Structure 1
Amino acid sequence: MLDLKAFQKITYGVYLVSSRCGDILSGCVVNTLTQVTTSPAQVTIAINKQNYTTEIIRKSGRFTAVVLSQSAMMELIGRFGFHCSRDTEKFESFRTRVDESGVPFVCEQASARFSCKVVSSMDAGTHIIFLGEVEAAEVLDSTGPMSYAYYHQIKNGITPPRASVYQPEPAKGYRCRICGYVLDSDTVPDDFVCPICGRGKEHLEKITG
């Protein structure tokens, strides 16, 4: 027996992971950031192999993880979680800083940041798990961190298809082909704008079956 609902009882957070290789900047949303040791200070992250950020981390050997606060706006999560860094400048609309190794990170709507050097990685099927040694860390805001439950229940957020905890669910209405947002309605207004990725009605498809 494998009850997938059991996995929903595991506690997760919402994090922005960024990296840099030369002039190439990349970032994405992940929900798995875990401290594994204190001395040395080490954390792990899990990122889908298809994410462009995974490629940049592999090339640079570095990443910076930011813990999003409960005040984080859906615009920020939508930009980093449902767009690709290959064709989207994700950082330009938000207040950012550069860490000690030149990696940019979003410093607003965030509780803390961890700048890491990759010391090892593991192939986990659809994802790569990176073990990073924390070289710098700081508290950015006193606001509490956003949990995945808060993101879903309070922010009404959805899970990106490439997330490690993604589970497809039956739905009706219209689905955004870009981010997976479901509009539970029989009709779509002409001025519809997806609340997650900001795209228009032309990117919706009717859900059948």
Structure 2
Amino acid sequence: MDPKAFFKLSYGLYIISTEADGEQAGCIANTFNQVTSSPAQVSVTLNKDNATEQRIEKSGKFAVTVLQQSADMELIGRFGFHCSRDTDKFSGLDCGTDEQGLPYVKAHAASRFSCKVVKTLDLGTHVLFIGEVVGSEVLDNGPVMTYEYYHQVKNGRTPKNAPSYQEEKKRVSGWRCLLCGYVYEGEILPPDFICPVCSAPASAFEKIES
């Protein structure tokens, strides 16, 4: 089996968010898809260790923000490489509240969906949620972020909890953050360097061979 075949599949990049027992959570996902049109139903797959997945299990609802190409690595890093258990990911951002009272990110958003869970499927390490769309809205007409764009243009990394995670080969010289994939270009990494995306220290960087 050639794992590179999976790279030919088309994905978007989304922020999945929810709230349970007064606690908000959100994460980056590339597994959001429409499954039926009537009724309008969607699916998303999340890792069981993810705080967002656990709070969706409790609340039975989730919101989705479709990201645009303009989304910066700081926003992606905040939702993709930090945990909602110890980080208020929505603090200081332009956010809204959907039809179910859930938070969603408005910044760099092409559209958003509000979904009610109607079915779940245990996939071992992950859970597949099927959601009925109870609200949706176009927020901007800018080009949407694809997973390919995220990797090739943003030089992003796939978190190990993501369903599409695969070991990546080193391609450029410099230092790569093991948490978020940010690349520091240069032969010497300053010992006091802090990753601008996920705030990881210099010790979390690996040397990239040219």
Mark yes or no: TM-score above 0.5.
yes
Residue 66 of structure 2 is matched in structure 1 by: 67
Gaps of 5+ in 1: none
Instruction: Quote the offset at 1:23 in angstroms.
Output: 1.2
Counterpart CA distance in 2 for 1:23 and 1:93 is 18
Counterpart CA distance in 1 for 2:18 and 2:207 is 36
The secondary structure found in structure 2 opposite 1:97 is: strand
Counterpart mapping for 1:1-209 below 5 A: 2-171=1-170, 174-181=175-182, 183=184, 186-204=187-205
Instruction: Quote the offset at 1:197 in angstroms.
Output: 1.2
Q: Deviations over 1:76-112 (max 9, x none)?
A: 1000000000000100121001112111010110100
The secondary structure found in structure 2 opposite 1:135 is: strand
> Identity across aligned pairs (percent)?
52
Counterpart CA distance in 1 for 2:99 and 2:139 is 16
TM-score (structure 1 length as normaliser): 0.91
Counterpart CA distance in 2 for 1:12 and 1:182 is 23
Question: How many residue pairs align between the two structures?
Answer: 207
Contact 2:159 2:179 (8 Å CA) reproduced: no
The secondary structure found in structure 2 opposite 1:115 is: strand
Instruction: Quote the offset at 1:179 in angstroms.
Output: 3.1
Contact 2:156 2:180 (8 Å CA) reproduced: no
Counterpart CA distance in 1 for 2:88 and 2:49 is 18
Instruction: Quote the offset at 1:203 in angstroms.
Output: 3.3
Counterpart CA distance in 1 for 2:21 and 2:103 is 12
Contact 2:155 2:182 (8 Å CA) reproduced: no
Counterpart CA distance in 2 for 1:63 and 1:52 is 13
TM-score (structure 2 length as normaliser): 0.90
Counterpart CA distance in 1 for 2:138 and 2:102 is 17
The letter for the 2-side match of 1:193 is I
Contact 1:161 1:180 (8 Å CA) reproduced: no
Gaps of 5+ in 2: none
Counterpart CA distance in 1 for 2:69 and 2:186 is 29
Backbone CA RMSD of aligned residues: 2.0
The secondary structure found in structure 2 opposite 1:11 is: coil
